[in-house]
Structure formats: C-alpha cells, structure tokens
Amino acid sequence: MRTSSCFIPEQILCIKSGIEYLCKDQVTILKYFIRYKISAMAKKGKILVIDDDEGILLTAKVVLKKHFELIEIIENPELIPDALMKEHFDVILLDMNFSAGATSGREGINWLRKIQKLVPDSQVIMITAYGDIDLAVKAMKEGAVDFVVKPWDNNKLLATVMSTYKLSVSRKEIAQLKSHQKVLTEDLEQPFSKIIGTSQAIQDVLVAVEKVSITDANVLLLGENGTGKELFARMIHRNSPRAGRIFVGIDLGAVPETLFESELFGHVKGAFTDAKEDRAGRFELASGGTLFLDEIGNLSLPLQAKLLAAIQNREITRVGTSMPVKTDVRLISATNMPLHEMVDNGEFRQDLLYRINTVEIRVPPLRERLTDIPLLANYFLKVFSRKYNKPLPKISGQGLKNLRNYHWPGNVRELQHLVERAIIMSEESEIQLDDFITDVGRPHPAKEILNLEEVEKKTIINALKKYRGNVSKASRELGLGRTTMYRKMEKYGI
C-alpha cells in the first residue's frame, strides 16, 4: 500500500519485510546528493528569455536552470519593462521577431533599444532563425553582445550564455573597481589621519570608539566644526570587521538638494542633462564597507525622508531607473548641530535620529583639551616643514602659553591652519607669537568686540535655521558671499 505520493528510487531506498533500509552503496548515493546540494547552492546568475515560441522558452529553461539561480521566460515582449523593474538580470536572450510572419528583425532591434534604455548595462543575446545571421550582426552593432541560432545545440546555447554571464560579472566588477579606485585615491590624499592627544577628554572618546568599533552599530559623532569628527569615523572603520572594505565619505552640507539623490543613490546615463555615463552613488560604493555622512544636520526634511527610506530598506534606486539595488553599509554620521533640539523643534526627524545614533559620541572642542595643544602644534610643525621643505622650527614658550589661552573657535582645524601659516611666513628657528594671528594671546577680547561677534554668530544661526541649513539662501539673506559665509561659520563653530 502506497503511503506517500512521492516515488523513491529503488537504488536509494529498499523496503523489505516492512523495514526501510539503505542499500549497500548508500555512501556513493549520499556523496552524489551532497555534491548536488553544493552545486545547487553555488548557482548564481539570473537569466531572462523572451520568445513567442513556447517550445523555445521551455527548452531554454530546461537547459539553463541547472546552471543558473533564476531562469525567467516571457512570451509577450510587452511584459519586458515590468520584468526589468522587478529584477536585475545578468543575461537577456531576446528573439528577433514576434509578430506572425515577421522576418525583418525590426521588432527585436526596437526591443533591444528599449532594454538598453531601461537597463544601460544589460547584456543581451539575440535569438535568430537560421539564415538571418545578417540581422544578428546588425543587432550586435546596436549593442547586443552575441547571438544564438535556432534550432540550437544545447551545449552551444549553454556556452554562449555562460560566457556572456561571465562578461556581465566582469564588467560589473570593473565598474565597481573604478569607482572604488576613485574613492580610495581621494582617501589616500587625506593629509592627516592620526588622533593626537593625551588629555582625559580625548582619552574618553578613544575608549568609546574602541568599544563601538568592533560592532556593526550605527554611530553619531557630535562636535563643533574642526574637532576631527571624520578622523574618529575613519578610526572606527579601521578597527571594525569591515576594515578590509571601503570607507566612503560625503559632506551633505556641500551637496545641493537637486543633486542629493544622484550623489547618494547614483544615476544612469541620460537621467538628466549632465548624466553622460552610469554612476554609482555613495551607498552603492560603500556597500560592504562604511558610509560616513558628514553634516547630516544640514539636510532638509524632504531629504531626511529619502535618506531614512534608504537606511530602513537597505536598498536604493538610481536616478533614471526604477530598479532597486540592495546595499549593506555601516553608517557613521556627524554634525555640529543640536539634533535633539532640532527634533523638538520639528526640524529633524526623530525616526531618522533613532536610525543613525545607535551609539552617540561627543567629540570635545580644543578648549576642553588644552593640554593637547603642544602635541598637536608640534605634529603640524613636522608635517608642514616636510611639505614646504623648510627646517623644523620650535614654538617659543610664550607662544605655547598664548596658544593655551586662546579660545579656539575653529578648534584643531584652526590650529592646523595657524601652524601652516607660521611655517610659510617665518624664517626663524623659533616661531614667535606674531607668526600666528593677532587674536592669539588675547584670551579676553574687549567686551564690545565680543558682543558684536555674538550678535553676528546668532544672526548667522537664525538665517540658517530660517532656510533649513541652506547656506546659499542664508548668505543671500545676509548679503554675504558663500566663501565669506563658510569662513564665518567656521570661525564661530557653526
């Protein structure tokens, strides 16, 4: 009596006297199934076959399904756009003719062009009847990669599809490597990569960084401009499980709203006027590694919503296409703005804040780590002496004292610029106070000047709040040029 609708081969399972047992060659059989399972797990590649002949579609599916992860077949070419929106295919097989009696190949050429417009990096193999080789050659001039002639030899079909699949993978790898090379080149050009300091304030930060680095948690770095937030972001990445992958950074405060999606999510050729080639966005570039979003507090609410969707869904869609791309990034964000207050005022999304600050680290301003100033100053002296090929000078004792008394609105970045200026301008073996700026050594500026600066700082902050962090609009409101505006923002630590 049959107890199951599933038939089991006699070679695998024998039944004797009501007792099931494996045959003596069970080891060989188990090895076979293990190899089969491993082979199935290793299958990769997604193939789309489009032909109006149902027999051709079924044959292609049977031949290819053993070797590729997904084989999708379409009989009606009008369904092509929907299929391309739902899935990214590594290889597309496309028939030359669909209408009854059609032999010109125009339909295939037209659909080839539409596919290339929808998915510019698609690898298309044309399916043509015997004797229509000229049509296939024409299709290749239009961008097809190869062609197969029907009726085909199954081995030749598999070889053609497999070689095209390998080509598709190679092209994607090359495009990714080029993008990574550009980012890595920019990364290598970063002049400073060390955290200098022994003060308790900086040691507390280093302890927090050490704890969070070994996790994959999203980190929010808070601190004034010039405190070195990006250096800490890079340190977290270097000490994380993703250290062998890429670190990609972007200053969101410098990205115009109109280019936000293109910069972060990428675009396809022709998506807009200047889109002359496909370009991966920062999320794609950083996939598998770390994405550093600097000045995240400058984003407007609409852009915050788009960023939140990308983080939540772990996928992005390039501008000019509707096909989603999965991403895997470790997110580190930074800002000098009071995000918690902005949430209370409705200027920053609370749900986005929750997403980006699994761990929150405050980077102290230089005035809270004054004992680090001699170390930092001497480090910058060595760097810029080598850069400008000048003898290494010393800072006078009075000069160091005045540096410690200064209020440092520009933090470590300001100190760096002061030392560079001193190296350039000084011809002495010992740098004096006058080689820096006239403010240094004035720890308590005149009350009237301080009040004017406070008024100016408050005015700039109010203008930025009014225009939700848009520097261009705020600077026009104040009658300032963008360069002047950025200089004043840096001066006041805004």
pLDDT at 448 (0 to 100)? 38
CATH of domain 44-169: 3.40.50.2300
**Cis omega before residue 151 (within 30°)?**
yes
In angstroms, rounded to a whole number, what is the distance separating the alpha carbons of residues 390 and 333?
Answer: 38
Residue found under tokens 């002359």: 276
Q: Please tell me the chain's helix, strand, coil percentages from 3-state DSSP, rounded to the nearest 5.
A: 50, 15, 35
Residue found under tokens 């470790």: 330
In angstroms, rounded to a whole number, what is the distance separating the alpha carbons of residues 208 and 220?
Answer: 12
List pLDDT tens digits, range 177-232. 666 555 555 554 454 457 899 999 999 999 999 999 999 999 999 999 999 999 99
Fold assignment, 367-435 = Helicase, Ruva Protein; domain 3 (1.10.8)
List pLDDT tens digits, range 127-149. 987 667 788 788 888 889 999 98
Under a CB-based contact definition with an 8 Å cutoff, are residues 246 and 188 in contact?
no
pLDDT at 131 (0 to 100)? 61
> For the chain, where do the domains classified as CATH 3.40.50.300 start and end?
190-364
pLDDT at 130 (0 to 100)? 64
* Token reading at 224: 């004034």
**Angle at the Cα of 341 from the Cα atoms of 470 and 343, rounded to 5 degrees:** 75
> For the chain, where do the domains classified as CATH 1.10.10.60 start and end?
447-492
Question: So what CATH class is 447-492?
Answer: mainly alpha
Whole-model pTM over 0.75: no
* Token reading at 46: 């997604």
Question: So what CATH class is 190-364?
Answer: alpha beta
In angstroms, rounded to a whole number, what is the distance separating the alpha carbons of residues 316 and 325?
Answer: 5
Cα separation values, 325 from 35, 179, 314, Å: 32, 16, 9
Residues in the chain predicted with pLDDT less than 70, given as ranges, are 1-42, 130-131, 176-193, 432-453
> For the chain, where do the domains classified as CATH 3.40.50.2300 start and end?
44-169
pLDDT at 37 (0 to 100)? 41
